[in-house]
Amino acid sequence: MMTRLGVGGRWRFADVLGLDADQLTAVPKPCCALMLLFPLTQQLESFRQQQADKAAAESAVYFVKQTASNSCGTIALLHTVANNKSKMTFDEDSILKKFLDETENMSADDRAKHLENNKAIHEVHNEIAAQGQCRPEADKVNFHFIAFADVNGELYEFDGKMNGPVNHGATKDDSFILDAAKVCRGFVERAQGELRFSAVVLCQSESQ
């Protein structure tokens, strides 16, 4: 999807096989963001409500609200790229670069409205979803994507369902993945035996 939106260069997503420190040694480096997919169980919904109190508007970061259903993956991708924009390279006709430039000085709510009206991004989203990666499971448990990024030495969590990003404190390039994974382990622990978690990192590949 990132390629279809016109993000070029050597930054690509890679699977995270586990959130423990020894498992994270296999993650390609450098990496600048992490996306976590988790089931919206009752326990995690309650935890998210508690986290909402820590969310606040931050001028140093790019944040967009999620107003459309089933768009959390696209929102997480936007947060991932937007908050690493200086590291990215974009195709000349990049759909995503155009959107980010147009919404740079907007509020989170106005960015959401602009996204709702962006037919090009919607078409890419629908095209990827139609490939069969996004079909719901039989038990109808909802899943949700959030993103983590290092912005100016601070670890931020981005969830479009909140009113702003959550600052988890200081981080740095060589500890980012460990710091983000620590927050993610908190989700797993609160899920009380639920195993349906998945994570990917945005990392720089050796070949373009």
Active site residue 72: yes
Question: Residue 41 forms beta bridges with which residues?
Answer: none
CA distances from 17 to 10, 51, 88, 100 (A): 21, 26, 25, 31
Tokens of 22: 């020894």
**Taking the chain (208 residues) in consecutive chunks of 10 residues, what is each chunk's mean pLDDT?**
88 92 90 92 78 76 90 93 94 95 95 94 85 54 89 94 92 94 90 85 78
pLDDT of residue 102: 96
Q: What is the pLDDT at residue 97?
A: 95
What pLDDT was estimated at residue 8? 86
- The residue assigned the tokens 């039989």 is 138
Active-site residue identified among 32, 144, 184, 203: 144
Q: What was the pLDDT predicted at 138?
A: 47
Torsion of CA 102, 104, 108, 110, to 10 degrees: -30
Distances (CA, A) of 181 to 15, 36, 102, 135: 13, 9, 32, 26
User: Residue 205 has what pLDDT?
Assistant: 77
Would you call 144 exposed, middle or buried from its count of C-beta atoms within 10 A (0-12, 13-18, 19+)? buried
203 in active site: no
Q: Which of 31, 32, 72, 203 is catalytic?
A: 72
